[in-house]
Amino acid sequence: EIVLTQSPGTLSLSPGERATLSCRASQSVSSSYLAWYQQKPGQAPRLLIYGTSNRATGIPDRFSGSGSGTDFTLTISRLEPEDFAVYYCQQYVPSTEGFSFGPGTKVDFK
């Protein structure tokens, strides 16, 4: 079983700052199968990034993803007020045809 770990647990920043979120897998994950989601309180999750670095439909270009192997990163270049939320990475494991999520990183106001 591949386990995803996200760090930091909470990231306290101000609007306009750069946010760098980390997702680490216990074993190598195909870049094609790593995604990022955003969730705001009381709302359903929203797909941000798929295939490590591809922005989903309608996602602004201040969101970018990178990484390979076991280390992946979500970067928000300049935080907007609406970006303060919880972010989850997700992997797909072809051998089990299953998905799993990391525990999440909360981005909140400093």
Residues that bind other proteins (CB under 8 A): 1, 37, 39, 44-47, 50, 54, 56-58, 86, 88, 90, 96-104
Residue 9 near residue 102 (C-beta atoms within 8 A): no
In the complex, the smallest distance separating the C-beta of residue 9 from other proteins, rounded to whole angstroms, is 11
Q: ∠ at Cα 85 (80, 89), nearest 5°? A: 115
Nearest approach in angstroms of CB 15 to other proteins is 25
Q: Which are the contacts of 29, defined by CB distance < 8 A and separation ≥ 6?
A: 2, 69, 70, 72, 91, 93
42 or 81, CB closer to other proteins?
A: 42
Residue whose CB is less far from other proteins, 17 or 46:
46
Report, in Å, the least distance between residue 6 CB and other proteins: 9
In degrees and rounded to multiples of 5, residue 34 shows phi and psi of -115, 125
